[in-house]
Amino acid sequence: MTQTHGHGSAQGEMPIFDEKFWDERYGQADRIWSGNPNPQLVAEASDLPAGRALDVGCGEGADAIWLAERGWQVTGVDISQVALDRAARHAEAAGVADRVTWLRADLTDGTSPGSGFDLVSAQYLHLPGEQRVPLFRGLAEAVGPGGTFLVVGHHPDDLGHKAWSHVPGMFFTGAEVASNLDPAEWTVVTDEARGHPSADAEGNPLTVQDVVLTARRLA
């Protein structure tokens, strides 16, 4: 789920990404994402042994379903019940409904998604720093010994693109995420900026960069 557009905010104010916004966004169409798993999840998790996974901001469920198809037992969390209902239908159609639990929750309010996960994946969760930093700390705490914490987002260098010019402070680097992980408990496996082709709001081609931070909790 890419949180880069808000509603009801005057110029210069931080957009609001609440349940109402996301329910309305998902209600605009039968599908708003591609239905394919995020490529950085595929790149980083394909070789991991299946276990318990937490997919945060799971949206319409593509990442959770991809993991479930590979033997993972997945908890998919999202703030939007509209998205979760759609994700559940997709999981049923894919034959993995018994491997995914869907949870509606706003994890920015301190709600715990559980603990002891072998993989916690947070894909494109763009929030103000005062929400993002404690959220990522809480997600790291949900990773069990030997487990993997995967964070992917848009790189701050891409803030100049027109579509994202209104969200300064919501983008982050891998180093910023890693700075909140105790080096006595974590090993950073990947901290990269990976470019890939995309398009702007008018359909013009451009190259954007993904921040990819993968850390492993010591056993």
Q: What's the average model confidence in pLDDT over 57-62? A: 93
Strand partners, 76: 55, 102
DSSP letter, residue 7 = B
Best-predicted range by mean pLDDT among 9-18, 24-33, 37-46? 37-46
The answer to whether the beta carbons of residues 189 and 215 sit under 8 Å apart is yes
Q: In the structure encoding, which two tokens stand for residue 100, read together? A: 């995914």
Whether the per-residue pLDDT at 204 is higher than 50: the answer is yes
- Note the pLDDT of residue 7: 36
pLDDT tens digits, residue range 77-90? 999 999 999 999 99
Cα 96 to Cα 47: distance, rounded to the nearest angstrom: 20
Beta strands in the chain (DSSP E): 52-56, 73-78, 100-104, 117-123, 143-154, 186-199, 205-217
pTM of the model: 0.85
Beta-carbon contacts of residue 108 (< 8 Å; ≥ 6 apart): 127, 131, 134, 135
* Closest CA relative to residue 55, chosen from 32, 72, 35: 72
pLDDT tens digits, residue range 151-189? 999 888 776 664 554 566 788 999 999 999 999 999 999
pLDDT tens digits, residue range 5-24? 333 333 444 456 666 766 57
Architecture of the CATH domain 19-24+58-217: 3-Layer(aba) Sandwich (3.40)
Domain spans in the chain, listed from the N-terminal domain onward: 19-24+58-217
Torsion angle, CA of 137/142/143/148, rounded to 10 degrees?
Answer: -60
pLDDT band at residue 135 using 50, 70 and 90 as cut-offs: very high
Burial class of residue 134 in the structure, from the number of CB atoms within 10 Å of its CB (0-12 exposed, 13-18 middle, 19+ buried): middle
- Note the pLDDT of residue 159: 67
b/e per residue, 170-196, with b = 16+ CB within 10 A? bbbbbebbbeebeeeebebeebeeeee
